[in-house]
Chains A and B, each alone.
Chain A
């Protein structure tokens, strides 16, 4: 049984880490981009960002004043048991979100869409989002918080099989160019692409590809992995860098996730995670141990399964 107090306490630490500490994989990716960048202004921007990450850590203040819209991804091993059940879990995550908004502090971004009511704590109707995933074995609970920016850099389009790779490339470039102008997408970013599914799943897959996979990670399908490399290079060949200035750093990495779709369609979504790439992860074990990390490791073979039944491969069973 995993104690509910420990869940809330861990969730509050994660809120703090996500807002303040740049994940190492993204930092390494940005440093590489900064070394290659030769546009005067783009280069200045990347250096300022690197200084900003240091300042945030030293001062223990949020990297960016727009701390996005905090959300939670919860993953459980099949044998995990939560004290108080799922309702207690959701209450703990809502409390942690509210407490940390005032504690870090974060910007109280969440308001009612019509009445603009602001509870000053990032909690309200449907906020924070809490999404779930499961793995075949284990008694642990993974808590992942992502504070993605909420306004620019994301789009959806219904494409069709006849649009092909050429159509996918076109929509990808359209999104980068449109939202890259004036730097609205807060690039260079991790770009996530969702292909297939239904309209909503396409958006979910793209968002998770941007937020739940790290720089350098590749899809387990080797042909999709090749596309990821190709799309990263394509994005960086636009001639646009940070803030939409002339440059060559637009995409720190490109991650693609797919889902089975209607036979007549080819849904596509594009998401840009920002220069602050705020994500933090902890695994809580039933004996009270907590292990912090920055790789959500969300897209396991089980999450990408395509068969009716599932048998856990022996080699994977230990690490899952």
Chain B
């Protein structure tokens, strides 16, 4: 049994300065202060493909885009009941993320599982943005505690609760882990490379299936999200 080291913990604004972003290292633990908004496929399609006007001032109101649908309800009186908050897997939004960053000025993309290094180099690096991953996954109750209040919900009627744009005031919201840096390096990719080195040994005593499938790979270092 080893003795694991505790990672570095950092408080970060949801409108971070370039210097603050430059100081972040892969694997740092981040807690956020300010305002974040949720936007995923519904918002991206509406804003980028249907060219609807984004109902917020971006990035001045917030430069932090959360890939998330909260476990929340809106009461008949318009009040909000915010429960747990957990991210959804970001790789599915690759086709929109570049145009979205250009349009919104987002500097922090927060989600589950990161995106490909290709996405980081093509979209994140030119826009001076980084990726923060949620932890677990499923520290929804801890993240929910970091939400001080729901400021407003945009496009609920058009997109439904899960896809609507939730604008959240947050304080010390976390933990998140720095997955990509300003140079476009990826923590997940670094870890995958280390793990892949051991896989041939793990697979000893197994054999490939008799009946193959289209597109099958036997290269265990392949990523699934590309």
List residues of A whose CB falls within 8 A of some B CB: 19, 35-45, 48-49, 51-53, 55-56, 59, 61-67, 101-109, 111, 116, 118, 120, 151-152, 157-160, 162-163, 166-167, 169-171, 173, 177-179, 181-184, 186, 234, 237-240, 242-246, 274-276
**Also in contact, A106 and B71, with CB within 8 A (given A63-B140, A243-B137):** yes
B162's partner among A63, A109, A167 (CB-CB below 8 A) is A109
Stretch binding the partner chain, chosen from B11-19, B57-65, B100-108, B192-200: B192-200
Give A68 to B205 CA distance when docked, in angstroms: 36
B188's partner among A65, A102, A244 (CB-CB below 8 A) is A244
A-B contact pairs, 22 of them (CB 8 A): A52-B141, A61-B141, A62-B84, A64-B84, A64-B141, A65-B84, A65-B138, A65-B144, A105-B72, A105-B73, A108-B160, A108-B162, A118-B160, A159-B209, A170-B207, A181-B192, A181-B223, A182-B225, A183-B113, A242-B136, A243-B133, A274-B138
For B53-81 the 0/1 string (1 means CB < 8 A from A) is 00000000000000011111100000001
Cβ B86 vs Cβ A182 within 8 A: no
Chain B, residue nearest A110 (CB): B162
B4's partner among A40, A107, A173 (CB-CB below 8 A) is A40
For B209-226 the 0/1 string (1 means CB < 8 A from A) is 111010000001001110
CB distance from A74 to the nearest CB of B (A): 25
With a cutoff of 8 Å between Cβ atoms, the chain A residues found around residue B29 in the complex are: 44
CB distance from A123 to the nearest CB of B (A): 14
CB distance from A320 to the nearest CB of B (A): 35
**Also in contact, A61 and B84, with CB within 8 A (given A45-B136, A238-B198, A239-B195):** yes
**Also in contact, A64 and B137, with CB within 8 A (given A102-B73, A118-B162):** yes
**Also in contact, A64 and B224, with CB within 8 A (given A170-B203, A170-B209, A246-B195):** no
Q: How many residues of B contact A (CB 8 A)?
A: 66
Q: Does B51 make an interface contact (CB < 8 A)?
A: no
Chain A, residue nearest B156 (CB): A120
Which residues 91-128 in B have Cβ within 8 Å of A in the complex? Answer: 112-114
Give A166 to B204 CA distance when docked, in angstroms: 9
Q: Which of B112, B135, B187, B210 has the most CB of A within 10 A?
A: B135
With a cutoff of 8 Å between Cβ atoms, the chain A residues found around residue B191 in the complex are: 41, 244-246
With a cutoff of 8 Å between Cβ atoms, the chain B residues found around residue A51 in the complex are: 139, 142
Cβ B135 vs Cβ A45 within 8 A: yes
Cβ B84 vs Cβ A56 within 8 A: yes
With a cutoff of 8 Å between Cβ atoms, the chain A residues found around residue B143 in the complex are: 65
List residues of B whose CB falls within 8 A of some A CB: 1-7, 27, 29, 68-73, 81, 83-89, 112-114, 133, 135-145, 160-163, 175, 177, 187-188, 191-192, 194-195, 198-199, 202-203, 205-211, 213, 220, 223-225
Cβ B188 vs Cβ A61 within 8 A: no
Give A240 to B5 CA distance when docked, in angstroms: 17
B71's partner among A53, A107, A160, A171 (CB-CB below 8 A) is A107
Chain A, residue nearest B224 (CB): A178
Cβ A41 vs Cβ B84 within 8 A: no
**Also in contact, A240 and B160, with CB within 8 A (given A67-B84, A102-B73):** no
Give A65 to B220 CA distance when docked, in angstroms: 31
Chain B, residue nearest A237 (CB): B202
CB distance from B27 to the nearest CB of A (A): 6
Cβ A167 vs Cβ B207 within 8 A: yes
- Additional 16 contacts, C-beta under 8 A, given A66-B86, A181-B224: A35-B1, A55-B141, A61-B71, A62-B140, A64-B71, A64-B139, A66-B138, A101-B73, A105-B83, A107-B161, A109-B69, A169-B206, A170-B208, A171-B209, A243-B177, A244-B188
With a cutoff of 8 Å between Cβ atoms, the chain B residues found around residue A246 in the complex are: 191, 194-195
